Amino acid sequence: MLKTPIALRVSDADYCKRIKDPFDPNLHHLETLLPFSEVNKLVSGNANVRKPKESSNPYKKMIATVEKNPRAFHVKNRGITFICAAFDMSPNSTGGVRQLNVHLEKGDDSDFIDAEITDARKVGIADGGHTFAVISNTMERVDGLKSLQDWTEPYVRVRFMTSKAAYVVPEEMVEALNTSTQVKEHTMDEYRNEFQPLKDILTRSGFDISNISFRENDPGAWDVRVILQRLGCFLKDKPAIGPQLYRSRQKALKMYIDPKTREDFLALENVMADVAFLPEYIESQFSSKENMKTRNRFGGLRVVDALANDYTYPSLGYTTRHRLDLAATLPLAGAFRELLQVDPKTGKQNWIVDWKEAFKRTADELYRALTTNLATVNNVSSLGSDPAYWTTAANVILRVKSEMLQERIAAL
């Protein structure tokens, strides 16, 4: 615990501005631009909900900015939010230099920054833990950095918040600072036009891409990461990756962004609209009135939610009266990868037989595979990552593929 204030040097009065809160008279804000050496005097405290991860890409990118473009650090970085009990400023002195005193405790407060006491008042860095770790790292090797040509000490924005209330901020506010303001990775990928090839392919197939959310808060019915998750199950030379992709849409996104595997996704151009929405097709077929006649217990399965009214998927025309969990449909859809063949001239994948006819012939077997494997798992999510379920479905499709190819040969 620190009962004496932390004294920080503000080199220019214009680098420090006190802001009145529009609603809470006890809550005050102070916006500052401070050099790393001054910020390094602060303490991390117990306000941040997670420890910095030095192996993360954001941390590495910040280190690179410090070393290669230190004058841009305060512009590129979101800064630090620091919760304290109080702060005060000394009057202007010669040259505009002022002293900022940051108080972590007031009066008889105790256990202010004891990280082991969960109900202690939250003080310290509420947001910007990785930035603070970069600052600490920089100051440990500052002498070596100063020897670099044209290197100068970076600045960073620090926002101080203080309140006389019993608890400075609710836990929800601290968590929000660390999550909701972070831009999702797929949103940045969209900003960089990474998804344009997918958009072009799906548009040429007749699909309205406004139904796909390529960024956070887009209104589309499908998240682009879900589309990539499904496409990933059909990549050539990756027959066993399905269970992994079910567990992690983010893995599919990373595979698509990686230039080494991007082309494998684009090789699905001729079948992309089919395979991307196979789960909806399967759902609509299992839910149809004709099929329900022989599957009167379908609506009672753990993986099924009955709808009040028929629902037609936009831009597809598939109508369903039930919602089937992706844990049930993704392994069944992924099995249809067995019907694809690579064109040696173009490298593109194509259907070797009519996939809808293949489904029609195997619908009963696929449904039995679903119900049989569902009975062996305790929770629905385990079904989607169960290799046995994926294998069972794939074997069903392999058998019908052989059957249909033999019929084609016999007809010659």
HEC secondary structure over 375-399: CCCCCHHHHHCCHHHHHHHHHHHHH
> For residue 3, which of 110, 83, 99 has the smallest C-alpha distance?
110
Q: What values do phi and psi take at 294, rounded to 5?
A: -100, 0
Yes or no: say if 245 and 232 are a contact pair by the CB < 8 Å rule.
Answer: yes
Listed residue (119, 165, 137) closest to 52, CA to CA: 137
**Distance between CA atoms of residues 44 and 149, nearest Å:** 31
What pLDDT is stored for residue 256 in this prediction? 95
- Predicted local distance difference test score (pLDDT) of residue 290: 74
Residue for token pair 């040509």: 149
E strand map for 5-154: 6-10, 16-20, 27-35, 80-84, 86-89, 98-103, 124-127
Query: Distance of CA 162 to CAs 28, 32, 385, Å?
Result: 5, 14, 47
State how beta strands 222-223 and 212-213 pair.
Answer: parallel
pLDDT, block means (10 residues), the chain with 412 residues: 81 91 86 97 75 83 96 95 88 77 68 38 80 96 94 97 56 55 62 87 97 86 96 93 94 93 97 98 90 71 94 96 96 98 97 98 95 94 95 98 97 89
Q: What long-range pairs does 292-300 form, CB within 8 A, spacing at least 24? A: 294/364, 295/367, 298/322
Measured in degrees and rounded to the nearest 5, phi and psi for residue 308 equal: -70, -35
Rounded to whole angstroms, the Cα distance separating 233 from 220 reads 22
Return the pLDDT at 106: 57
Q: Give the 3-state secondary structure of residue 91.
A: coil
Q: Which amino acid is at 173?
A: M
Beta strands (DSSP E) in 21-154 are 27-35, 80-84, 86-89, 98-103, 124-127
Q: Is the pTM of this model over 0.75?
A: no
CA distance 282 to 408: 25
* Distance of alpha carbon 82 from alpha carbon 156, whole angstroms: 13
Position 52 scores a pLDDT of 75
User: How many angstroms separate the CA atoms of 207 and 325, rounded?
Assistant: 23
d(CA 9, CA 270): 63
Dig out the tokens for 393 from the structure: 């479905």
Q: Is 105 helix (H, G, I), strand (E, B) or coil?
A: coil
C-beta separation of 270 from 349 below 8 A: yes
Q: Residue 253 has which token pair?
A: 């996104």
Structure tokens at 291: 């099929």
Mean pLDDT of the chain: 87
